[in-house]
């Protein structure tokens, strides 16, 4: 037997999002090849001790570890927030600094509002060449760089899933440049950290197949693909998604809006150690 490989995966959550993070962790592990172990690194925005115990239970039957990373929140004290994008979302910008003591060549960042349906080792092993990150196009924002004051033919990506080459990120000083963009271009920013990352990483990212980040707007085909190649890959992603990403305000846990994967998501959530807690919350409401 060959040596098992390790996949470092980073996500971020505050205590309110801990139950949904548990679904991300669970469904990653449920579909993972037996040839891989996982080291989860959670950017911790005041997750409670009780929630951490429950998250530990989620991974307890797998060859996985979990540890928590702290970000200097003062770096993001003045960022724009909204009802579904909190300061926590920005913390991924500091991710390579948080992992500087590790010897990882690359790391996979995944948002905490996803449902994983396929073995992510296939995603992790993608060769992104000399690019800084691998990411998936954002169907609703594909050609908005002019709004950010940038002239380029490149497309705009969704920052909820990033395959990050840590060495290339550090060499290009992406954290520092993204923080500067947030500070200097605040009047242009609508989509929070995602705008800032696109304002810094344009022409430095590799386009992953859309099946790895099937956003809500793609599920419902709300936007025209930018070219024929994406028209084909959009159809493939909708037909056979690998990761469903519940982008936008309407999430399976807070909305009755129809989504074809909401029922499956809630079924997975009910299998986590958070199910009792969420049932009580529903009863109160």
Compare 244 and 183 and report the one with higher pLDDT: 244
Across the range 75-96, mean pLDDT stands at 58
Query: pLDDT for 160-201, tens place per residue?
Result: 999 999 999 999 999 899 888 888 887 888 777 889 899 999
Compare 263 and 280 and report the one with higher pLDDT: 263
Residue-level pLDDT at 271: 97
Instruction: State how far the Cα of 39 lies from the Cα of 103, in Å rounded to an integer.
Output: 13
User: 162, 133 in Cβ contact below 8 A?
Assistant: yes
* pLDDT band per the 50, 70, 90 thresholds, residue 75: low
Q: Is residue 207 helix, strand or coil? A: strand
Residue-level pLDDT at 158: 96
Look up tokens 């959009």; give the residue.
Answer: 234
Domains belonging to the chain, first-starting first, are 5-284 (3.90.550.10)
Residue-level pLDDT at 90: 65
Residue-level pLDDT at 206: 98
Residue-level pLDDT at 225: 96
Average pLDDT over all residues of the chain: 89
Across the range 243-254, mean pLDDT stands at 94
User: 156, 198 in Cβ contact below 8 A?
Assistant: yes
Q: What is the percent of the chain where pLDDT is above 90?
A: 71
Dump the DSSP string for 73-86.
GGGGTT----SS--
* pLDDT band per the 50, 70, 90 thresholds, residue 106: very high
Residue-level pLDDT at 71: 73
Q: Phi and psi (nearest 5°) for 177?
A: -70, -35
* pLDDT band per the 50, 70, 90 thresholds, residue 285: very low
Alpha-carbon distances, residue 53 vs 15, 67, 71, 119, 275 (angstroms): 12, 12, 21, 25, 14
Residue-level pLDDT at 92: 77
Across the range 51-60, mean pLDDT stands at 98
- Residue 6 is encoded by which pair of tokens? 């390790």
Query: pLDDT for 220-231, tens place per residue?
Result: 999 999 999 999
Across the range 255-277, mean pLDDT stands at 94
List strands edge to edge, sheet with 157-165.
Answer: 64-69, 36-45, 5-14, 106-110, 157-165, 133-137, 205-207
Q: Phi and psi (nearest 5°) for 161?
A: -145, 120
204's CB contacts (< 8 A; 6+ apart) are 131, 132, 133, 172
Residue-level pLDDT at 279: 52
User: 11, 43 in Cβ contact below 8 A?
Assistant: yes
Across the range 9-27, mean pLDDT stands at 96
Element containing residue 155 per DSSP (H, E): none
Q: What is the percent of the chain where pLDDT is above 70?
A: 90
Evaluate if residue 258 carries a pLDDT over 90.
yes
């Amino acid at each position: 037997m060959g040596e098992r490989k390790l996949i470092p995966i980073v996500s971020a959550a505050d205590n309110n999002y801990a139950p949904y993070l548990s679904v991300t962790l669970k469904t990653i592990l449920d579909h993972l090849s037996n040839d891989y172990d996982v080291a989860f690194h959670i950017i911790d925005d005041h997750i409670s001790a009780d929630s951490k115990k429950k998250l530990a239970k989620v991974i307890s039957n797998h060859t996985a570890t979990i540890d928590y990373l702290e970000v200097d929140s003062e770096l993001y004290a003045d960022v724009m927030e909204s009802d579904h994008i909190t300061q926590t979302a920005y913390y991924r910008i500091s991710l390579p600094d948080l992992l500087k003591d590790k010897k990882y060549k690359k790391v996979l960042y995944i948002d905490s509002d996803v449902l994983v349906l396929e073995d992510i080792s296939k995603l992790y092993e993608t060769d992104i060449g000399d690019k800084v990150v691998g990411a998936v196009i954002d169907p609703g924002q594909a050609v908005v760089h002019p709004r950010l004051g940038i002239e380029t033919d490149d497309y705009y990506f969704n920052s909820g899933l990033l395959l990050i080459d840590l060495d290339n990120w550090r060499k290009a000083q992406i954290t520092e440049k993204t923080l500067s963009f947030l500070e200097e271009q605040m009047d242009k920013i609508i989509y929070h950290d995602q705008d800032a990352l696109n304002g810094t990483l344009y022409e430095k990212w590799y386009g992953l197949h859309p099946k790895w980040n099937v956003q809500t707007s793609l599920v419902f085909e709300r936007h025209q693909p930018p070219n024929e190649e994406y028209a084909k890959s959009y159809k493939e992603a909708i037909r056979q998604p690998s990761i469903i990403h519940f982008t936008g305000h309407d999430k399976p846990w807070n909305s009755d809006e129809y989504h074809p994967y909401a029922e499956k998501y809630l079924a997975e959530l009910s299998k986590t150690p958070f199910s009792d807690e969420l049932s009580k919350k529903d009863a109160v409401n």
